[in-house]
Amino acid sequence: MEVQKVTSALEFEKFVERKMPVIFEGYAINWDAHKKWDMQFFKENLGDIKVDRMRSTSNIHPDFNSTKDWETYESSLKEYLQDVSSSNDTNELSYYFLAGDALKILCNYEYNPLLEALLRDFSLPGFYQKDTLKNIGLWISGRGPVSWLHFDKDHSDNFNVQVGGSKYFCLFDPKDAPNLYLKGMLESPYYNFSNIDIRNLDYAQMPNAKNVIKHEGVLNPADMLYIPADWLHSFKHLGDFNVNLTFWWMSDHQIYNKLKSREDYIVSLIKHFKIKAPDALLNSLEGNKIEVEDPTILRKLISYFEKDTDFEMFKQFESNIMSD
Ligand SMILES: O=C(O)CCC(=O)C(=O)O
C-alpha cells in the first residue's frame, strides 16, 4: 500500500495527529542543506571528524545473516566518503554504512559542538514542542545499503527528511508486530529487530508475514516522511549519494504509546511463558485499560519497564517472573 503524499503543513499535521505515516513532498526544498550538502561540502567542512562506520559482508545493516559479526570501526569522515565513492565505481552495492544514530547533530537533547555549524542550513520541523526533540541523526550513504527491519527502541516519533538523494522505504504498523517475527526481548539485545530479511522475504519460513500490510514509498530529494512511534521500518538507499536528517521526538502524546507498547510486551511475555495470570489482567491489558482486578501484579510487571531497558534487566525480569 502506497504511503500518501501531502504538500501542506495542515494536511501533514492531520496524519501526525492520527499517528499515520505520510510523505510531505518538497518539505525541505528551501533549505540551504538541500542546496549545498553534497560530497564535496562534507569533505571540505567535516572531512576530519571521526565517525563510527560499519562494514558488513553484504549491503544490509546490521547483517543478521552473517555468521561473522558486522564490524564497526572508526575512521575520518573523509575516508568513509572515499570508500563510498569507490564502492559506487565498482558495483551497485555499498558494503559501508554510517548510521545516523552514530553521527548525531543532537544527541540525547545535547547539541554536538562539532556539528553545530550545520544547524544554520536547516530548520527544525516545528510540529512538536521544541524541548521534546531528543536526537537529530545525519545519514550519509552511497547507493545500495538496506537497513534491517526494526522499530526505534525509545518509542520516538520520527521525521525523516531526505536532504539529497533518495530512499525506498517500507513500514509496518506495530499492530502487525506479532506477525513480523521480532527477535524478542528475552532472546536478543536486538529485540527491536525482526528476523525477516526484507530483501528476500521467505513466506515458507515466515508464513504469518503474509497477513500484514506493507506501507511503502520513495522519498525523493527534499521530501519528509513521518514514521509514527513504534512503526517498523526499513530503507533502501537509492541515490549515488544520499543525505538524510532524522528528527526523533519524544512528544507528549508518546507517553500513552509507550505505556501501550509495554502492555503489549507484557501480554506477549505472559503468553509466551504461559505464566499463570488472572484472566482479568490479560483481558484488561489487551483492552488497553490500566485498571485491573489485581493491580499489584501489573504494577510489579510495569515497574520493570519504567527503568531504562537493557538486556540484563530483561534477563533478570525473566528469572524473577519464572520463579514467582
Ligand atoms: O535510513 C535508514 O536506512 C534507516 C533509518 C532509520 O532507521 C531511522 O530513521 O530510524
> What is the pLDDT at residue 230?
87
Asked if residue 230 has its Cβ within 6 Å of ligand 1, the reply is no
pLDDT interval class at 204 (50, 70, 90): confident
> Among the three residues 204, 226, 252, which one is the final residue of a domain in this structure?
252
Enclosing domain of residue 46: 5-252
Per-residue pLDDT for 55 more than 50? yes
- How many domains, the chain? 2
| Co-location of 105 and 193 in the same domain | yes
| Co-location of 120 and 135 in the same domain | yes
| Co-location of 137 and 94 in the same domain | yes
Asked if residue 193 has its Cβ within 6 Å of ligand 1, the reply is no
Asked if residue 158 has its Cβ within 6 Å of ligand 1, the reply is yes
Per-residue pLDDT for 89 more than 70? no
The chain-wide mean pLDDT, for the chain, equals 81
| Co-location of 226 and 80 in the same domain | yes
Q: Among 146, 165, 144, 168, which residue's Cα sits nearest to residue 88?
A: 144
| Co-location of 248 and 260 in the same domain | no
| Co-location of 237 and 280 in the same domain | no
pLDDT interval class at 323 (50, 70, 90): very low
> What is the pLDDT at residue 183?
85
Distance 141 CA to ligand 1 centre (A): 11
Long-range contacts of 190-193 (CB under 8 A, 24+ apart): 190/62, 190/64, 190/150, 191/311, 191/314, 192/150, 192/151, 192/152, 192/153, 193/62, 193/64, 193/148, 193/149, 193/150
pLDDT interval class at 219 (50, 70, 90): very high
Which tens digits make up the pLDDT trace of 17-35? 888 999 999 999 999 999 9
Mutate to test the pocket of ligand 1, among 106, 233, 236 (most ligand atoms within 8 A of CB): 233
Question: What is the grid cell recorded at 155?
Answer: 518509542
Per-residue pLDDT for 156 more than 70? yes
| Co-location of 105 and 174 in the same domain | yes
Q: Which residue has the higher pLDDT, 187 or 22?
A: 22
Domain with 123 in it: what CATH number? 2.60.120.650
Q: What percent of the chain has pLDDT over 90?
A: 48
Question: What is the grid cell recorded at 307?
Answer: 527503568
Question: What is the grid cell recorded at 180?
Answer: 513480523
Angle between helices 254-272 and 295-306 (to 10 degrees): 110
> Among the three residues 252, 267, 289, which one is the final residue of a domain in this structure?
252
| Co-location of 121 and 27 in the same domain | yes
Q: Is 237 exposed, middle or buried (0-12, 13-18, 19+ CB in 10 A)?
A: buried
Distance 272 CA to ligand 1 centre (A): 30
Asked if residue 139 has its Cβ within 6 Å of ligand 1, the reply is yes
Asked if residue 246 has its Cβ within 6 Å of ligand 1, the reply is yes
Contact (CB, 8 A) for 196 and 108: no
Asked if residue 56 has its Cβ within 6 Å of ligand 1, the reply is no
Amino acid, single-letter form, for residue 41: F
Contact (CB, 8 A) for 248 and 157: yes
Q: Cα–Cα distance between 16 and 10 in angstroms, integer? A: 10
| Co-location of 221 and 265 in the same domain | no
> Among the three residues 232, 252, 272, which one is the final residue of a domain in this structure?
252
Asked if residue 141 has its Cβ within 6 Å of ligand 1, the reply is no
Q: Which of 59-68, 224-233, 256-265 is predicted most confidently?
A: 224-233
| Co-location of 124 and 184 in the same domain | yes
Helix then strand count (H, E) for the chain reads 8, 16
Residue 146 CA: which ligand 1 atom is closest? 3
Per-residue pLDDT for 143 more than 80? yes
Asked if residue 242 has its Cβ within 6 Å of ligand 1, the reply is no
β pairing state of 96-97 and 50-55: antiparallel
Mutate to test the pocket of ligand 1, among 98, 158, 241 (most ligand atoms within 8 A of CB): 158
Q: Among 217, 167, 180, 225, which residue's Cα sits nearest to residue 22?
A: 225
| Co-location of 172 and 305 in the same domain | no
> What is the pLDDT at residue 88?
57
Residue 61 CA: which ligand 1 atom is closest? 3
3-state secondary structure of 55: strand
Contact (CB, 8 A) for 77 and 39: no
Contact (CB, 8 A) for 216 and 170: yes
| Co-location of 238 and 261 in the same domain | no
β pairing state of 232-237 and 167-172: antiparallel
Residue 139 CA: which ligand 1 atom is closest? 1
